């Protein structure tokens, strides 16, 4: 019996992988422009990092982690997200002491969540995310949001909706928390067992419950907007002002509750508005997490970031019918006729490649006609044909596949010939 791929994972094959590479390349280029530097952290971490960092009342920690014991009986977890690992590293490697501040980092790599697989929801998915640590300036909140928006726009997405909210500072959150407890307590018996546990531990999480989403108390729940203190309100106003200045339209939605516990002040999501995108419309999520570094044993450090998955990015491109021009084709296909000429192309191929050209030859003993067909499939710009006679006379025939024009070139200067064409 053959073995199949695990549920909720994907093979990304040639033909599809080029789009992934293009998005990844664009993301890296944009990070360079915005001055975010790459960080690579391990795929697994101590389980405690996520229960403490992401929060042990969240669905991620309670239901979705791939947790295992290693041979040394340590509890480890495949990372479900990238923020807690980045902040762990920030604290552990004392990045708060780096000369370059704020510390602006980005990452790209697989994350793992044991979720019910459906379109746009995988058990292994690739996140691109950024984290800016060490600045309390609302302008960096706007910068982080604009980086995500610009990445989508550069790939051609138009139907985007940005939703923002403020979760306020500690004091505002405390006041809101009390109001939430008072609101839900009298009728908490009507809610699911998870929500009953959430009431005391983290009542904000109730608003994010998928089971009780339609309960009437959800609609009348106290809004954080009414509990923001003066500083939190002023901070949120500035974020909005900067977004307007950057020409980024947004909607304020006081019901936006993110699925992770570390957030305060700014929280945001970017959704796809495209028809046919499916039930899951969130492409990107992020926010501020000023207490996280401290929770993980470091000095008090403000932080903000976002993460988006490449899977949903591609789904959004498909939903908007955006075709990206990929597969440019190779520079040269070396076709040969005769045994000696075939042997010669082994070395010539290497010379072309080392000179910077993409080049290919036949490895299946094809007849010349079939070699031209193979060149066509590779979208070759030129086909260079070498026969045993040409080899003896130190020449090679180079055919421009677009114009059909054919020229004889000295065999020992064919690399220079291609260099001059550029």
- The residue ranges that bind ligand HAM (CB under 6 A) are 81-83, 113, 115, 121-122, 125, 127, 129, 131, 259-260, 282-287, 289, 305-309, 311-312
Among 137, 129, 34, which Cα is nearest to 83's? 129
Cβ of residue 111: shortest distance to ligand HAM, in angstroms? Answer: 7
Cβ closest to ligand HAM, residue 45 vs residue 131: 131
For residue 195, CA distances in Å to 17, 191, 213 come to: 41, 6, 11
Rounded Cα gap, residues 270 and 272, in angstroms: 7
Please state, in angstroms and rounded to a whole number, the distance separating the CA atoms of residues 266 and 260: 13
Residue keyed to tokens 């491109």: 317
CB 37 within 8 A of CB 31: yes
In terms of CB distance, is 157 or 383 closer to ligand HAM? 157
Tell the smallest beta-carbon distance from residue 306 to ligand HAM (Å).
5
**Rounded to the nearest whole angstrom, what is the least distance from the CB of residue 289 to ligand HAM in the complex?**
6
Contact 371, 362 (CB under 8 A): yes
Instruction: Pick the closer one to ligand HAM by CB: 277 or 372.
Output: 277
- Look-up of token digits 């070396």: 334
Q: Are 342 and 116 in contact (CB under 8 A)?
A: no
* Contact yes or no for 373/360 (Cβ under 8 A): no
Peptide bond into 86 cis (omega under 30): no
Write down the least CB distance from residue 304 to ligand HAM, Å.
7
State the nearest-atom distance from the C-beta of 250 to ligand HAM, in Å.
16
Closer residue to ligand HAM, CB minimum distance, 149 or 349? 149
Residue nearest to ligand HAM (CB): 305
Distance of closest approach, residue 126 Cβ to ligand HAM, in angstroms:
8
Between 146 and 309, whose beta carbon lies closer to ligand HAM?
309
Write down the least CB distance from residue 130 to ligand HAM, Å.
7
Nearer to ligand HAM, 90 or 306 (CB): 306
C-beta separation of 378 from 329 below 8 A: yes
Q: Between residues 290 and 345, which has the closer beta carbon with respect to ligand HAM?
A: 290
Q: Closest separation between CB of residue 263 and ligand HAM, Å?
A: 7
Distances (CA, A) of 202 to 129, 169, 260, 262: 26, 15, 11, 12
Q: Using the minimum distance from each CB to ligand HAM, give the nearer residue, 110 or 338.
A: 110
- In angstroms, the CA 239 to CA 284 distance is 18
For the record, the structure tokens of 266 come out as: 């700014």
Buried b (16+ CB within 10 A) or exposed e, 227-242: bbbeebeebbebbbeb
């Amino acid at each position: 019996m053959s073995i199949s791929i695990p549920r909720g994972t994907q093979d990304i094959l040639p033909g599809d992988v080029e789009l992934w590479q293009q998005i990844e390349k664009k993301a890296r280029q944009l990070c360079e422009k915005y001055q975010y530097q790459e960080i690579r952290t391990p795929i697994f971490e101590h389980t405690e990092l996520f229960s403490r960092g992401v929060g042990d009342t969240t669905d991620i920690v309670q239901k979705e982690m791939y947790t295992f014991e290693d041979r040394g009986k340590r509890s480890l977890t495949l990372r479900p997200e990238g923020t807690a690992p980045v902040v762990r590293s920030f604290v552990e490697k004392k990045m708060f002491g780096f000369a370059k501040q704020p510390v602006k980092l980005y990452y790209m790599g697989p994350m793992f969540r044991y979720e019910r697989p459906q379109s746009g929801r995988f058990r292994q998915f690739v996140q691109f995310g950024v984290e800016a640590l060490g600045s309390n300036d609302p302008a960096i909140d706007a910068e982080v949001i604009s980086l995500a928006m610009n990445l989508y726009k550069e790939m051609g997405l138009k139907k985007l909706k940005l939703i923002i909210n403020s979760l306020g500072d500690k004091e505002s959150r405390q006041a809101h928390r009390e109001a939430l407890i008072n609101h839900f307590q009298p009728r908490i018996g009507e809610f699911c067992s998870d929500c009953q546990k959430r009431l005391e531990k983290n009542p904000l999480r109730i608003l994010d419950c998928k089971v009780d989403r339609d309960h009437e108390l959800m609609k009348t729940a106290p809004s954080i907007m009414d509990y923001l203190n003066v500083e939190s309100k002023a901070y949120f106003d500035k974020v909005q002002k900067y977004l307007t200045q950057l020409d980024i339209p947004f909607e304020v939605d006081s019901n936006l509750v993110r699925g992770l516990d570390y957030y305060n002040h700014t929280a945001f999501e970017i959704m796809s508005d495209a028809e046919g995108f499916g039930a899951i419309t969130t492409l990107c999520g992020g926010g501020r997490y000023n207490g996280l570094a401290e929770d993980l044993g470091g000095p008090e450090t403000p932080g903000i970031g976002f993460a988006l998955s490449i899977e949903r990015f591609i789904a959004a491109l498909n939903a908007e019918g955006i075709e990206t021009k990929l597969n440019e084709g190779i520079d040269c296909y070396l076709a040969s006729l005769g045994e000696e000429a075939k042997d010669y192309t082994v070395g010539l191929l290497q010379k072309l490649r080392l000179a910077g050209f993409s080049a290919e030859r036949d490895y299946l003993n094809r007849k010349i006609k079939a070699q031209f067909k193979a060149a066509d499939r590779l979208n070759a710009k030129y086909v260079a044909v070498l026969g045993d006679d040409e080899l003896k006379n130190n020449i090679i025939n180079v055919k421009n596949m677009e114009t059909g024009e054919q020229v004889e070139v000295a065999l020992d200067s064919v690399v220079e010939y291609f260099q001059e064409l550029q």
